[in-house]
Structure 1
Amino acid sequence: MPEPGWDVLSALGVVALIVVVVTAVVVVVLAIAMIRRHRKVHQPGVPVSAKVSYYGSIIYAVLPVDLLPDPILVDDIGVLAAALVYVGSVLKRVSRKRSQPLG
């Protein structure tokens, strides 16, 4: 007969596995959203800071060196989400400048 503590430990293990899988899926979705902006980031007039943010966030998500251990992907989610917001706002600003009539 198993000891009562093993039931709790098994439940915690399942919860931990679910959290890891969900955060990994979120990281993949955010990384795909970032990669889809590749062509827009390389258009003329996009500042270097947006390009650095673009590449930096992708490299941070891929490299094994993180602020938090790799099974905990909260830092990767934060970096990718912040970069998506920043790059998106810069790209909107650049497209507005392009659509303004000259003169």
Structure 2
Amino acid sequence: MPDAGWDVLSALGVVALVVVIVSALVVLGLAIAMIRRHRKVHQPDVPVSAKISYYGSIIYALSPIDALPDPVLIDDIGVLAAAVLYVGRVLKKVTRKRDQISR
């Protein structure tokens, strides 16, 4: 009869692996969302703060230096999610201004 401790340890290992895979997929999805904004971010009327947020979030996600160890991607998810929200909001404002000017 196998030891119950090994069963618990195996289950925790599987849960940890699933958490790492899911968080990696979330980071990948957020990184793709940021990269899709590349052309829009490089427009001349986009503020520098949005450009810094764009590049900073991508560099942080790719950087080996993190606030938390790499298997735990919570910090990368937070940085990328905040950047996606901020850059998206800035780009909407810039688009509205362009539309008002062109009318």
Identity %: 76
CA separation in 1, counterparts of 2:36 and 2:95? 17
Q: CA RMSD in A?
A: 1.3
Q: What letter matches 1:66 in structure 2? A: D
How high is the TM-score relative to the length of structure 1? 0.96
Residue deviations 1:57-98 (CA, integer Å, cap 9, x gap): 000000111000000001100000000000001000001111
Q: Which residue number in structure 1 is paired with residue 21 of structure 2?
A: 21
Alignment gaps of 5+ in structure 2? none
4+ runs of 1 displaced by more than 3 Å?
none
| TM-score relative to the length of structure 2 | 0.96
Q: How do 1:74-85 and structure 2 match up within 5 A? A: 74-85=74-85
Amino acid at match of 1:85: L
Partner of 2:6: 6
> Which residue of structure 1 lines up, in the alignment, with residue 54 of structure 2?
54
Cα distance in structure 2, aligned partners of 1:67 and 1:16: 19
SS at match of 2:43: coil
Which 5+ residue runs of structure 1 have no aligned equivalent?
none
